[in-house]
Structure 1
Amino acid sequence: MTSCPALFISAPSSGSGKTSITAAIARSHARRGKRVRVFKTGPDFLDPGILELASRAPVYQLDLFMGGFAHCQALLAQAAAEADLILVEGVMGLFDGDPSSADLAVAFGLPVVCVIDASAMAQTFAALATGLQRFRLEVHHGGVIANRVGGPAHGRMLLEGLPADLPLIAAFPREAALSLPERHLGLVQALEQPGLDGKLGAWADAWEAALRPGLALCAVEFPQEPEPPPAPRLAGRRIAIARDAAFGFIYPANVDLLRALGAELSFFSPIAHEPLPACDALWLPGCYPELHGDALGSHPTLAASLAAHVAAGKPLLAECGGMLALLDELTDATGHAHRMAGLMPGHARVQQRLAALGLQAIAWPEGPLRGHSYHHSTLETPLAPVAHATNPNGGKTTEALFQHGSLRASYVHHYFPSNPEAVAEFFKG
């Protein structure tokens, strides 16, 4: 059993400022020499990039559906053994979804601190805070954080009505310069924000100025039950992975698993016109190919290299944006059509409104995997799906799985640790 101070940062809803506050706390501690490990609840690729820069350590997902209890427990225990502070950022509102942030906090005994956007309220702040506290009594609340506070007088009004066992931890100021840019899938990627590191320092300054006296970080006990290592079934195999602003949606746990299976990994940037490395298998993750259509379409060797890879019968996994990059054509949100690799027949169009969202369970030929879907594009292809995903919450998103020779493609972002054996079997070829 290992103990470590821990906080679960949640909120009544999305947009309350969870990521900014979590990043501010992480940077505040990290710049004082503390070892901080941050986790993100549920499927997300954008917030973790910002939290990784803030904490100066990789950010992993905690998801009771995608990874399961034992996997999440092992990740937390490993972090507790090497960290001075664990922060977990929730998803959506505290009680939203199934499993919810509250479910995760209860499962691992994590004290919850809710971030509430106080910009349009005063004494009602306390009513909302205490309502969250009393909705599920098994959730342990360690306090509340007021975000976007207008000034000292506003902060004093927010205090009115808060009980002694729900202290106001901090009154974070309303500051437009501290906001983060967004686009259609959420926050702009950390690697696309050259001034982000300096902004994180400003966030930490604001957090330390907003912090009220008396914050006590509770130590949480984490059982040391590491997951058994998988058999090295990919020993001697080299897997190439596209990784840049067009193909950046990569779970760190997926990379860890491939290495644990014995694979040698080789990363390359298609938008920088780097060539496909010599490899036995290839993974094209999702992200924003539509924002880099000209760079991808003008790559001098990529299309031919991809075609030769599949013609040789080598495995190629393409997820969401990675799949779109293999089509004949991709039309971006402005209506501009980009020529893609032409390896998978069909075309896709990016639209302004959301096209699909939800957790996904999908049956690969090698076995079932879990993951999620989140995209603004629609796809037309003559290929017949070999399988359709199911949604554990009964949602309408049930993505198709396509097989075209040794190419496997889907809108699903797969979480490899949900079935290491199936992943190994596919990449082994």
Structure 2
Amino acid sequence: MKPTRLAAFLLALLLGVAPALAYPQNGLVPQQETYGSGFPDVKGTWCESYVQTVYESSLMEGKTKTSFDSRALLTNAQIITIGARLYDLLTGGDGEIPLIADASWYLTYYNNMAPLLGYESGSQILDMGVWPPTEACSRISFVNILSVVLKAAGVELPVVNEVAAIPDLNPMEALDGYTNTLAFYNAGILNGSDAYGTFRPLSSLTRGEAAAMLARLIDPAQRLRSSPAPFDFCKDLMGMEAETVVYSVNGKELAMDKFAPLLARNFFAAARLEDITFAGAAVPDAVTCALMDLRHAAALSVLAEIHGITLSAEAKATAASNAMAKAGFAGLDEQAWLSCELQEALGGAVESYYCEAYGYNSPLFHSDEPDGLSRLADDLEAVDVTIQSAGVMEGLDWAAIGQRAKTTPYAEYLFQRGV
């Protein structure tokens, strides 16, 4: 039988031990355990109060009776277990879920979570970022699981912050994950790992980090009030103003804010993060790759004009909607992303024109006859594009840029996935 709060308090007084912080009276779930003297390895650490809260809720236990091990990584099976327990607690249970006999311990919890994730049984859950069971889970997978549980239980978190964007999470790449994560920022469950609110979605989740998220979820008093600084690729990383002219293309000046998306996409094109010194080939390669993209974009625009190819109102509206959603990602504003979206849409329109005019040879059926794509490649190469440098990029302090990169959202997720 689990001791009541009053009994635990009286016992602490009799033993001469100061009682631990009271479990929140208005907590999202009821108290299930008594923390007692707690885990010695987290005493005095940043996550001590969080560990107490999640232990008392029975959502997380120690690695041993005397150690919580906050730096250890959580596995996919463990976040599924937490999700199943949380759902049970939110819907009137006590978090105790009987294990299936003669089966892997985690199958019980996968089975319990399956209906919430849209599956009939736990053995079908081979995606969702929570398989295989023994693999370390990612931070975004944990957020997604918690979000699914809250939605299924009919829990809506109050908004306490006004975070508009997450600098290292692309909403067009992981829309549900982005929406869930942004909601957690605004509910005070997350605040990012730096001044810009960097989330590190693909990083493995530690037990301490999981405890912090869960404790803030359970206890409204522990939720965070935060206002991350906006990350600006031009100013914060490159150290220059967005309106600075960096190149001219066929005689037309190109400001940094228009070149920034191309440079951002290629920033780590030539080196692994840990090897970058910004004194060797990595920097010129990044700029060179961006200039190749710039030439390609300019050539596409020329071909579009020659063939009278324009974007439909629907295509423009889609580009505008995508740009609005991505505003703030990678330190680029809505206008920067709009230029990218319109350019990609124009590229698709030009490609479609060539394929309709000259045909498309499927890779499954080899043919020596040139098709639309090969003709497009030849025509792009033949377009005369003149790019002249204003000398700005060559004069930048790339070593300083490299140091700044390590303290901005570029330090992890943008390197792993690109922009």
Q: Same fold (TM over 0.5)?
A: no
TM value normalised by structure 1: 0.22
TM value normalised by structure 2: 0.22
Q: Which protein is richer in helix relative to its size?
A: 2
- Kindly name which structure, 1 or 2, has the bigger radius of gyration based on alpha carbons: 2
